[in-house]
């Protein structure tokens, strides 16, 4: 009872704080100066039609690197927590008998049709991050969803963890190398203008942004796939 009352008090208190926030909120009529300069600079300076991708991969590229490091840490933590119970699986006869049941015909056929389509869609999202809505984070999440479908459809399918961690590390190393190239040949760390900007809106344009986008997509996709695989029963 006491617990419930204190919970009500806390929620009511936060509700009061939030309501003052909501009452005093006024919708902006124009952009803040920083946002305005981003909206102008990304298309002109970087040649990327999608302003958000330009911010993520160039102006705030260092932050993105940090986010990916946090994601890697989460994957490592999940592996640490769930990985040890994985050892010795399939060893004892008792555990062999309770192998996961195969999934139904519908799920298996659906996965066979959908997994390639989802992978192509993920590649599309990643590769069009600089021209339209999309980017590495979103595409990586879509890749992980296809791995999840694969794991659900065939419980015996083992994700090749070594391959995933190798690919992920390689993508991370190349990401940092491109960043250092920006430090040497252009304005600073992760400056995408190390490569020619090209024609505005073309598939291959906007300097190193498409490359960074692909690396980010591969890295996020591998990390989330490994996390998904760790949760296998």
User: In this complex, which beta carbon is closest to another protein, that of residue 66 or of residue 102?
Assistant: 66
What is the Cα–Cα distance from 69 to 142, expressed in whole angstroms? 19
Per rule CB under 8 A, count of chain residues that contact another protein: 62
Taking CB under 8 A as the rule, does residue 52 contact another protein?
yes
Q: Are 122 and 129 in contact (CB under 8 A)?
A: no
Taking CB under 8 A as the rule, does residue 202 contact another protein?
no
Question: Binding another protein by CB under 8 A: which of 107, 114, 115, 141?
Answer: 141
Taking CB under 8 A as the rule, does residue 138 contact another protein?
yes
Taking CB under 8 A as the rule, does residue 198 contact another protein?
no
Taking CB under 8 A as the rule, does residue 15 contact another protein?
yes
Selection from 79, 122, 134 nearest residue 218 by Cα: 122
What is the Cα–Cα distance from 105 to 56, expressed in whole angstroms? 42
Question: Binding another protein by CB under 8 A: which of 46, 118, 122, 137?
Answer: 137
Taking CB under 8 A as the rule, does residue 34 contact another protein?
yes
Q: Report, in Å, the least distance between residue 114 CB and another protein.
A: 21
Q: What is the signed CA dihedral for 169, 175, 176, 177, rounded to 10 degrees?
A: 110
Selection from 79, 100, 78, 104 nearest residue 89 by Cα: 100
User: In this complex, which beta carbon is closest to another protein, that of residue 41 or of residue 110?
Assistant: 41
User: In this complex, which beta carbon is closest to another protein, that of residue 81 or of residue 96?
Assistant: 81
Taking CB under 8 A as the rule, does residue 199 contact another protein?
no
Q: Are 65 and 219 in contact (CB under 8 A)?
A: no
What is the Cα–Cα distance from 176 to 73, expressed in whole angstroms? 17
CB atoms within 10 A of CB 34: 8
Per CB under 8 A, contacts with another protein among 60-119 are 60, 63-64, 67, 70-71, 74-75, 77-78, 81-82, 85
Tokens of 134: 């999309």
Tokens of 74: 């989460």
Per CB under 8 A, contacts with another protein among 209-228 are 220, 223-224, 227
Interior angle at CA 106, CA 105 and CA 109, nearest 5: 80
Taking CB under 8 A as the rule, does residue 44 contact another protein?
yes
In this chain, which stretch among 22-30, 91-99, 105-113, 180-188 interacts with another protein, using CB under 8 A?
22-30
Per CB under 8 A, contacts with another protein among 155-184 are none
């Amino acid at each position: 009872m006491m617990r419930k009352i204190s919970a009500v008090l806390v929620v009511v208190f936060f509700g009061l704080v939030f309501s003052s926030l909501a009452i005093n909120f006024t919708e902006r009529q124009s952009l803040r100066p920083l946002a305005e300069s981003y909206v102008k600079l990304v298309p002109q300076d970087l040649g990327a039609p999608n302003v958000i991708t330009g911010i993520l991969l160039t102006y705030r590229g260092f932050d993105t690197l940090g986010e990916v490091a946090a994601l890697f840490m989460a994957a490592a933590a999940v592996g640490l927590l769930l990985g040890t119970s994985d050892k010795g699986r399939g060893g004892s006869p008792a555990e062999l008998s309770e192998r996961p049941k195969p999934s139904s015909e519908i799920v298996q056929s659906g996965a066979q049709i959908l997994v390639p389509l989802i992978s192509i869609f993920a590649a599309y999202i990643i590769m069009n991050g600089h021209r339209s809505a999309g980017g590495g984070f979103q595409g990586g999440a879509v890749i992980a969803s296809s791995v999840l479908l694969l794991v659900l459809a065939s419980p015996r399918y083992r994700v090749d963890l070594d391959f995933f961690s190798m690919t992920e590390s390689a993508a991370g190393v190349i990401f940092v190398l491109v960043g250092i190239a920006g430090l040497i040949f252009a304005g600073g760390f992760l400056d995408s203008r190390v490569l020619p900007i090209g024609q505005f809106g073309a598939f291959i344009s906007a300097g190193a942004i498409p490359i960074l986008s692909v690396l980010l997509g591969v890295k996020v996709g591998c990390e989330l796939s490994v996390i998904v695989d760790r949760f296998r029963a």
